[in-house]
Structure 1
Amino acid sequence: MNWQALLGGHPTAVRVWGQGARQLLALHCSLAHAGAWSGVATQLGGVTFSAPDLPGHGRSADWDGAEDLHLVATRMAVALAERIGGPVDLLGHSFGGTIALRVALERPDLVRSLTLIEPVLFSAVRQAGAPEFDDFAKGYAEVIETIRQNPAAAAALFHNRWGHGDFTRLPALQRDYMTHRMGLVLGQNPVLLDDIAGLSLPGRIEGLARPVLLLEGADSPPVIGAIQRVLAARLPQARRVIVPGAGHMLPITHAAAVATEIRRLLADTA
């Protein structure tokens, strides 16, 4: 089922799978859309699984650049959780994982459990002084500079580091979709790198009193392992799971393994 509404002041498209009593809300990664959750959602029976297209993605309205992108996306997610009638089991992948964490920190009343799949909260490892951040920053600086000069080339760089498969072998429509949205990657940096939302401030993550599942791929970039290591140490109720053979796009490439771990979390928080 698909529906559209004004959520947090932003025209939003939402996709829903299932009609179970347990309410799951999932937030996708950069340059994707709600359909990226299809493989996971269809393997979770007995739940209602809702996923919005984040601002500028899928069939939701474009991001106008007037307000911080992360804030706009967070308001959207909060409004959707309120409309669903939380508390919800909140999931987020990559950029969506950082939004999910922010929602849980700012509105814990709306969150029953939290699943963070490779949240790209680079500020957390930067603050911790992890050596993996420096290596990541060098490659990311190249992507940022290329976005300004050649968005198509930047999309290829971005996908080949974070996506699944060779960018040149993707369908032309998918390549164009990603290319036209590379500006959204720049729009994420104030929170992901500079932490203007204060997500990584000392004591803040430690105060989240909710069960948290930290999921990552064994073959993901080293900075991801560093982020998950930092979060696992700071979150009081975290369980960290590493999926063998998986990379950053594990909700798509390893949907069955992801669904298995979510099922376990739901059972533990029944």
Structure 2
Amino acid sequence: MSCFDLHIRHYPGDQSRPAIGLHCMMGSGGMFAPLAERINGAVDLYAFDFPGHGRSPDWSFDEKIDLHTDVTRWAARMISRPVDLIGHSFGATVALRIAVGVPEAIRSLTLIEPVLFAAASETARQAEQDRLAGFIEAEDWPGMLRRFLGDWGAAAPIPTEGPRAERLIRQVRMVVDTNAALMEDRAQILRENGLERIEAPVMFISGADSPSIVHEISDALADRLPDVARATIPGAGHMLPVTHPDQLADLTMVNLDRS
């Protein structure tokens, strides 16, 4: 596999089972390291850093292509045979988009709190938008960063100055770019007879203490999938790949074994 000029991380394993890890917004492919360590080479796992994340180049805010579409294209280029997709948050929505578009390319889907807000109720979606609307209108990116990570959790302490803080500010501006994909479903992941065509086993993994909207989203998506399992990790929040890697690994292996 190759990913051109994006930074790609490889966690070697069974070469007959290629897998791709798709990380959350403001994360990196390195967040799959704890999982990879615990599944003992069950899959040959690749995880690239999205544009503007990790060690990849900055995102260009190109009006011709949104971030969700760009990440989906990068991931699709890495697939040459049926693959296990493991996605977290934003990355899980990319995994779903690929599975709906090319269901025959998917061996299994392990989805950790996909934030496809369009699948939730209008009331829940509006509340999600309202929490950030004032920051966006005022272009208060530091304030939005604090609120966003306060709602969803941070993998590490939030820096207030220096290159890392500057990149986080750029990343939180990228969150706005995802609204059309996540809030409005511009990619039509929820289209009629889309999810229903995914024959690969799917598992939704959630943290019991995560925002309520993620449970609503998983409920709506699971209702339409033909082969689906659900799991909730007690005491975990949205960043469970970092905080609860043991439980995540156990559940991931259950889904891998189903395929």
Structure 2-normalised TM-score? 0.90
Structure-1 separation of matches of 2:252 and 2:21: 12
Would you say 1:33 and 2:25 are equivalent positions? no
**Aligned residue type for 2:90:** F
Deviation sequence 1:66-93 (CA, Å, 0-9, x none) = 21211111000000123xxx21110111
Name the structure 2 match of 1:111: 106
Distance 1:141 1:206, change over 3 A: farther
Structure 2: segments with no counterpart, 5+ residues: none
Pick from 71, 84, 87 the counterpart of residue 92 of structure 1.
87
Distance 1:142 1:234, change over 3 A: farther
Structure-1 separation of matches of 2:252 and 2:215: 19
* Map 1:33-72 → 2, pairs under 5 A: 33-46=28-41, 47-66=43-62, 67-72=65-70
Name the structure 2 match of 1:139: 131
Shift of 1:173: 5.6
Name which of structure 1's ranges 39-48 and 116-125 shifts more when overlaid on structure 2.
Answer: 39-48
Secondary structure at the aligned position of 1:39 is classed as: helix
Distance 1:175 1:64, change over 3 A: closer
Q: Percent identity?
A: 35
Structure 1: segments with no counterpart, 5+ residues: none
Secondary structure at the aligned position of 1:196 is classed as: coil
Name the structure 2 match of 1:123: 118
Distance 1:171 1:213, change over 3 A: farther
Which consecutive segments of 4 or more residues in structure 1 shift more than 4 A? 165-174
Structure-1 separation of matches of 2:159 and 2:58: 27
**Aligned residue type for 1:15:** R
Name the structure 2 match of 1:248: 238
Would you say 1:15 and 2:15 are equivalent positions? no
Structure-2 separation of matches of 1:159 and 1:143: 13
Structure-2 separation of matches of 1:213 and 1:196: 24
Distance 1:24 1:168, change over 3 A: closer
Question: What is the aligned length?
Answer: 255
Shift of 1:174: 4.5
Pick from 220, 224, 234 the counterpart of residue 224 of structure 2.
234
Distance 1:24 1:152, change over 3 A: same
Shift of 1:199: 0.9
Structure-2 separation of matches of 1:135 and 1:117: 22
Structure-2 separation of matches of 1:199 and 1:216: 20
Shift of 1:172: 6.0
Equivalent pair of 2:155/2:242 in contact (CA under 8 Å): no
* Map 1:156-175 → 2, pairs under 5 A: 156-164=146-154, 168=158, 174-175=164-165
Equivalent pair of 2:89/2:112 in contact (CA under 8 Å): yes
Cα RMSD (Å): 2.1
Would you say 1:81 and 2:75 are equivalent positions? no
Shift of 1:154: 1.2
Structure 1-normalised TM-score? 0.87
Equivalent pair of 1:4/1:12 in contact (CA under 8 Å): no
Shift of 1:216: 0.6
Equivalent pair of 1:124/1:227 in contact (CA under 8 Å): yes
Shift of 1:20: 1.9
Deviation sequence 1:97-143 (CA, Å, 0-9, x none) = 110100111122321000111110001114xx5x4334323213245
Structure-1 separation of matches of 2:91 and 2:45: 15
Equivalent pair of 1:36/1:251 in contact (CA under 8 Å): yes
Equivalent pair of 2:118/2:183 in contact (CA under 8 Å): yes
Name the structure 1 match of 2:167: 177
Secondary structure at the aligned position of 1:54 is classed as: coil
Name which of structure 1's ranges 211-220 and 42-51 shifts more when overlaid on structure 2.
Answer: 42-51
Name which of structure 1's ranges 103-112 and 114-123 shifts more when overlaid on structure 2.
Answer: 103-112
